[in-house]
Amino acid sequence: MLAVAFVIALLVVGGMALVNALTSNKEAAPPGASGPPGTRASAPAHPSSTGQPALLIKNIGDMPTVVTITGGNDRQVLFRGRLNPGEGRQFDDTPLSVVATDAGLVQVFVYGTEQPKAAGQRGEWSVPKR
């Protein structure tokens, strides 16, 4: 009897997870568009002349990667941590330096232009001052 109750509980929890996964809106936003709440790391203090953020980085892979973003002449750390699948950050203050432990897991846009990446390798990008 306990085993039957356990199986039913697993089916209910699994069904709820499936419904949530199917009904959530996880479409990728175009570069420069605001993502879901919490994806914006800094408010647009100085939007670029193109209307795009200076930097947009998004994890498009299926596993987390560690990202470090530093800014300014003193290379102050603006973000250091795991960027989970589907999670993104954008920054408008420049100059910026970006490092990802696996460049193949992230999509990087500098002033709206997608940057090249190398799967399985450490990636580094620079965002110059405009």
* Structural domain contains residue 22: no
Tell me if the bond preceding 53 is cis, omega within 30° of 0.
no
* Structural domain contains residue 50: yes
- Give me the domain span that covers residue 48: 29-127
Question: Structural domain tally of the chain?
Answer: 1
* Structural domain contains residue 9: no
* Structural domain contains residue 6: no
Sheet harboring 123-127: ordered strands across? 76-83, 65-71, 96-100, 123-127
* Structural domain contains residue 49: yes
Reading the chain (130 residues) residue by residue, the pLDDT tens digits are 655 554 465 454 454 544 454 444 443 344 444 344 334 444 334 444 558 999 999 999 999 999 999 998 888 999 999 999 999 999 999 999 999 999 999 999 999 999 998 788 999 999 999 8
Model-level pTM?
A: 0.62
* Structural domain contains residue 92: yes
* Structural domain contains residue 123: yes
